């Protein structure tokens, strides 16, 4: 079983507008509204690629009901703890002329200790059945900043493969738990290391330390249409074409879903990178989050460029 953990889910609203600028009034040319949060997005893409998963975390209020009902209609298994308050809404604005993306994220509802304890009971139960777990996104108020470390350590005790895609203190704590795969925002790593990561050499130096700590795969963005992959077989740069890209919103989540599928199917390193990036690219070719089908992803595989850097 694949499990995705999204402690701070959301409703994602995406608007495509021409020549967006602050202070104006715009009519959207395209819109999309969907359940969101990194783990939820990964579950959605996994379903589109033919894999079932169980999505868990916290939901609250009318927005929470929308997220849960939407996932169930799509055939996803859910295991959320319901709490007081309101699940957050995130708004993304894509300027279709200037190709600039703007996002506004709410903080999320407060999680009490009792609700966190109920989540932990559910989590320990699912660990007995899980093959891999994806931890994604920010933490809502009330959840300890080191929760990802605890969750990853519990999973490792059960020999469950773990993936993490987060930022800030929650990510740093999670990395101490030594996940198998970590997605690292290069802007965050730049602030952490105090070094500009606009060159491949600096980027490699900043992230290589994570690989030495025991993290088998470390992945970080490079430019707007590629990633550097630190793998057990070396360091690789993978890139897709900028042509045809509509919005990169959700592409990192599609990439993580692609990594999960590739590792589940035991693809070799280069094919894993190629498949993950094809998922990210397919997501970027339309406003709606996710991949239209596995066939659409596979049609892009031969156009992904993969280069070994060492």
> pLDDT (tens digit, 0 to 9) for every residue of the chain, 310 residues total?
999 999 999 999 999 998 888 888 888 998 999 999 999 999 999 999 999 999 999 999 999 999 999 999 999 999 999 999 999 999 999 888 877 889 999 999 999 999 999 999 999 999 999 999 999 999 999 999 999 999 999 999 999 999 999 998 999 999 999 999 999 876 666 666 665 666 777 777 777 777 778 899 999 888 767 899 999 999 999 999 988 888 888 999 999 999 999 999 999 999 999 999 999 999 999 988 999 999 999 999 999 999 998 7
* Cβ atoms of residues 116 and 38 within 8 Å: no
Distant-in-sequence, close-in-space partners of 129: CB < 8 Å, separation ≥ 6: 1
* Cβ atoms of residues 217 and 228 within 8 Å: no
Question: What's the token pair of residue 68?
Answer: 């849960």
CATH number at residue 6: 3.40.1190.20
User: What is the bridge-based pairing of β-strands 30-36 and 53-60?
Assistant: unpaired
Instruction: Give residue 40's pLDDT.
Output: 98
* Cβ atoms of residues 16 and 258 within 8 Å: no
DSSP at 286? S
CB atoms within 10 A of CB 193: 15
Distant-in-sequence, close-in-space partners of 32: CB < 8 Å, separation ≥ 6: 12, 13, 14, 287, 288, 289
Task: Give the three-state DSSP class for 138.
Answer: coil
User: What is the bridge-based pairing of β-strands 77-83 and 217-221?
Assistant: unpaired
| Residues 42, 270: Cα–Cα separation, whole Å | 21
Task: Give the three-state DSSP class for 59.
Answer: strand
Instruction: Give residue 176's pLDDT.
Output: 94
Instruction: Give residue 189's pLDDT.
Output: 67
- Number of structural domains in the chain: 1
Identify the domain containing residue 57 by its residue range.
2-308
C-alpha torsion sign, points 244, 265, 166, 3: positive
Tell how far CA 43 is from the center of its chain: 10
Instruction: Give residue 198's pLDDT.
Output: 64
Burial of 236 (0-12, 13-18, 19+ CB in 10 A): buried
Instruction: Give residue 210's pLDDT.
Output: 78
| Residues 203, 192: Cα–Cα separation, whole Å | 12
Instruction: Give residue 223's pLDDT.
Output: 73
Distant-in-sequence, close-in-space partners of 161: CB < 8 Å, separation ≥ 6: 131, 132, 133, 155, 180, 181, 263
| Residues 13, 139: Cα–Cα separation, whole Å | 20
Q: What is the 3-state secondary structure (H, E, C) of 15-75?
A: EEECCCCCCCCCCCCEEEEEEECHHHHHHHHHHHCCCCEEEEEEEEHHHHHHHHHHHHHCC
Instruction: Give residue 18's pLDDT.
Output: 87
* Cβ atoms of residues 40 and 76 within 8 Å: no
Instruction: Give residue 202's pLDDT.
Output: 73
Q: Which of 62, 137, 151 is nearest to 107 (CA)?
A: 137
Instruction: Give residue 196's pLDDT.
Output: 64
The sheet carrying 88-95 orders its strands as: 30-36, 10-17, 88-95, 100-105
| Residues 42, 132: Cα–Cα separation, whole Å | 13
């Amino acid at each position: 079983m694949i499990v995705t953990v999204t402690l701070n889910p959301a409703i994602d609203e995406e608007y495509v507008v021409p020549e967006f600028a602050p202070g104006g009034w715009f009519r959207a040319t395209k819109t999309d509204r969907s359940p969101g949060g990194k783990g939820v997005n990964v579950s959605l893409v996994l379903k589109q690629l033919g894999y079932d998963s169980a999505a868990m975390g916290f939901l609250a209020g009318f927005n929470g009901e929308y997220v849960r009902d939407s996932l169930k209609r799509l055939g996803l298994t859910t295991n959320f703890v319901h709490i007081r308050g309101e699940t957050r809404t995130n708004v993304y604005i894509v300027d279709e002329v200037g190709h600039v993306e703007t996002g506004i994220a709410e903080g999320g509802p407060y999680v009490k200790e009792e609700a966190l304890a109920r989540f932990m009971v559910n989590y320990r139960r699912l660990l007995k059945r899980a093959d891999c777990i994806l931890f994604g996104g920010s933490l809502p108020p009330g959840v300890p900043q080191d929760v990802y470390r605890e969750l990853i350590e519990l999973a490792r005790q059960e020999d469950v493969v773990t993936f993490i895609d987060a930022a800030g203190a929650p990510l740093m704590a999670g990395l101490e738990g030594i996940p198998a795969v970590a997605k690292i925002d290069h802007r965050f790593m730049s602030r952490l290391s105090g070094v500009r990561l606009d060159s491949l050499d600096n980027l490699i130096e900043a992230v290589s330390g994570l690989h030495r700590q025991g993290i088998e795969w470390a992945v970080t963005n490079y430019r707007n249409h590629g990633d550097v992959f630190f793998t057990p077989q070396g360091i690789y740069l993978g890139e897709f074409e900028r042509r045809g890209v509509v919005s990169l919103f959700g592409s990192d989540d599609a990439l993580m879903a692609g990594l999960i599928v590739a590792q589940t199917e035991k693809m070799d390193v280069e094919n894993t990178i190629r498949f993950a990036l094809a998922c990210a690219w397919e997501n970027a070719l339309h406003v709606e989050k996710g991949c239209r089908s596995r066939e659409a992803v596979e049609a892009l595989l031969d156009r992904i460029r993969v280069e070994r850097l060492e």
